[in-house]
């Protein structure tokens, strides 16, 4: 059994919901409390999720990931907070730049998602201020400004990723995941391995079950990108940006065709496919289905 997500909602009272999955079957559990405050909700949620994990003995308890969302558009923020909580994140919300900067400066968040245009203090100014105070929390910038240069400016200011509004929620989730799992040292690895798929980064050769595969330079780059993020959902735009360095969306289903070619090369003749399509999001390279 695994916990899919735990979320808390503050209305008149507090509803803490947990969703667990066991052999394809989803179960919902709900805890209701009457004190209408955010901190008690958080406390209940974390207690509840711990309990769930203990019930599900065998897997270690992982503390929830703490995300700070700085967004002045209250309606958009409400949905994002809800969505992120349902995806298992603990979310704090700051509604303007000043509050955002204050909260971000606490340095206790695992990740910050900030809008770019904010009242009082601009999103990029928040990042600059944080970096100046050596707070290295990864930051994902959301922006309604979609120009090529806006993006570059956002990344130059110290943002770790940039997403133009409107975006698919799945895209946001995938990018948050990618930022959280980013290991600065993984770039020094000389060999990537997922199950029986091995990628020797020095000789640029790939073996599946010991048999060497013939891949083009671009397929190698694509596979390397996927293998470095094994187990994470990688979206089409992430692939376009990471593998082709293109920061706009071509209309055609380009990536699907490239992935299906790679999939043929990797998974053909194997009873255990490694490249999986995640409906509505993208792709993931991992061992189990």
Partner 1 sequence: MRLDLFNTTAFRLSVGYTLLVTLAVSVTLGSAYLLTESLITDEVDLIIDTEMKSLEDKFARSGLAGVTDEINLRIDSWGRIGAVYMVADANFERITGNVTHWPFDGMPAERWPEFEIATIEPGRRAVHPVRAAVRTLPGGDLLLVGTDISQGRRFADKFRFATLWGIGLSTLAAALAGFWFSYKLARRVGEVTRTCHRIMAGDLGRRLPVAGANDEFDALAVSVNRVLDRLDEQAGTLRATFDSTAHDLRAPLHRLRTRMDALLLRSPPLEPAVHESIESALREVDRLQRTLSTLLQIALAESGAPLASPASVDVGDLAAELVELFEPVAGAQGLTLECRHETPAIVQGNRQLLAQLLTNLIENSLKYVPAGGRIEVAVRRLAGGVQLAVSDNGPGIAAEDRSRALQPFVRFGAAGKQEGSGLGLSLVVAIARLHRGRLELQSNEPGLKVLIDLPA
Binding site for partner 1 (CB under 8 A): 19, 26, 28, 73, 75-76, 79-80, 82-83, 86-87, 117, 144-149, 164-170, 218, 244-254, 257-258, 261, 280
CA distances 211 to 205, 206, 270, Å, are 10, 8, 11
Exposure class string for 225-249: b at 16+ Cβ within 10 A, else e: bbbbbbebbbbbbbbbbbbeeeeee
Beta-strand (E) ranges in the chain? Answer: 2-10, 14-22, 25-33, 66-70, 90-94, 111-115, 139-143, 161-164, 191-194, 197-200, 205-208, 211-213, 234-235, 275-278, 282-285
Residue number with CB closer to partner 1 (107 or 250)? 250
Smallest distance from the beta carbon of 159 to partner 1, in angstroms?
17
Q: Tokens 């309604």 appear where?
A: 144
Three-point CA angle 138, 63, 162, nearest 5°: 20
Smallest distance from the beta carbon of 124 to partner 1, in angstroms?
14
Closest listed residue to residue 102, CA positions, set 138, 133, 147: 133
Residue number with CB closer to partner 1 (5 or 182)? 5
Residue number with CB closer to partner 1 (26 or 54)? 26
Residue number with CB closer to partner 1 (42 or 87)? 87
Residue number with CB closer to partner 1 (253 or 272)? 253
Residue number with CB closer to partner 1 (18 or 130)? 18
d(CA 120, CA 96): 7
d(CA 160, CA 141): 8
Smallest distance from the beta carbon of 52 to partner 1, in angstroms?
15
Smallest distance from the beta carbon of 209 to partner 1, in angstroms?
26
Residue number with CB closer to partner 1 (116 or 229)? 116
Q: Is 58 left (phi over 0), alpha (psi -120 to 50) or beta?
A: left
d(CA 80, CA 63): 21
Q: Give, as one character, the DSSP assignment of residue 242.
A: H
Smallest distance from the beta carbon of 156 to partner 1, in angstroms?
11
Smallest distance from the beta carbon of 45 to partner 1, in angstroms?
16
Instruction: State how beta strands 211-213 and 139-143 pair.
Output: unpaired
Residue number with CB closer to partner 1 (21 or 102)? 21
The residues that bridge with 7 in the sheet, in sequence order, are 17
Closest listed residue to residue 200, CA positions, set 211, 191, 209: 191
Smallest distance from the beta carbon of 109 to partner 1, in angstroms?
21
Smallest distance from the beta carbon of 107 to partner 1, in angstroms?
28
């Amino acid at each position: 059994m695994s916990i899919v997500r735990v979320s808390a909602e503050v209305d008149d009272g507090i509803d803490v919901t947990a969703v667990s999955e066991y052999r394809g079957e989803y179960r919902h559990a709900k805890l209701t409390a009457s004190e209408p405050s955010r901190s008690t909700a958080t406390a209940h949620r974390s207690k509840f999720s711990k309990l769930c994990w203990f019930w599900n003995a065998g897997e270690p308890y992982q503390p929830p990931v703490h995300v700070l969302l700085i967004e002045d558009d209250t309606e958009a923020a409400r949905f994002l907070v809800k969505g992120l909580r349902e995806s298992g994140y603990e979310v704090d919300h700051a509604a303007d730049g000043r509050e955002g900067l204050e909260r971000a400066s606490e340095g206790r968040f695992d990740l910050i998602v900030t809008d770019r245009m904010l009242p009082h203090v601009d999103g990029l100014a928040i990042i600059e201020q944080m970096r100046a105070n050596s707070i290295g929390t990864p930051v994902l910038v959301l922006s309604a400004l979609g120009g090529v240069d806006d993006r570059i400016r956002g990344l130059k200011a110290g943002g770790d990723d940039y997403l133009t509004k409107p975006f698919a929620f799945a895209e946001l989730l995938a990018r948050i995941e990618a930022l959280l799992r980013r290991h600065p040292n993984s770039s020094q690895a000389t060999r990537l391995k997922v199950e029986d798929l091995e990628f020797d980064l020095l000789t640029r050769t790939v073996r599946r079950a010991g048999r060497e595969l013939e891949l083009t330079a671009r397929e190698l780059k694509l596979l390397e990108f996927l293998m470095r993020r094994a187990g994470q959902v990688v979206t089409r735009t992430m692939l376009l940006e990471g593998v082709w360095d293109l920061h706009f969306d071509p209309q055609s289903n380009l990536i699907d065709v490239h992935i299906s070619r790679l999939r043929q090369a990797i998974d053909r003749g194997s009873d255990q496919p490694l490249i999986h399509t995640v409906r509505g999001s993208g792709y993931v390279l991992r061992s189990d289905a």
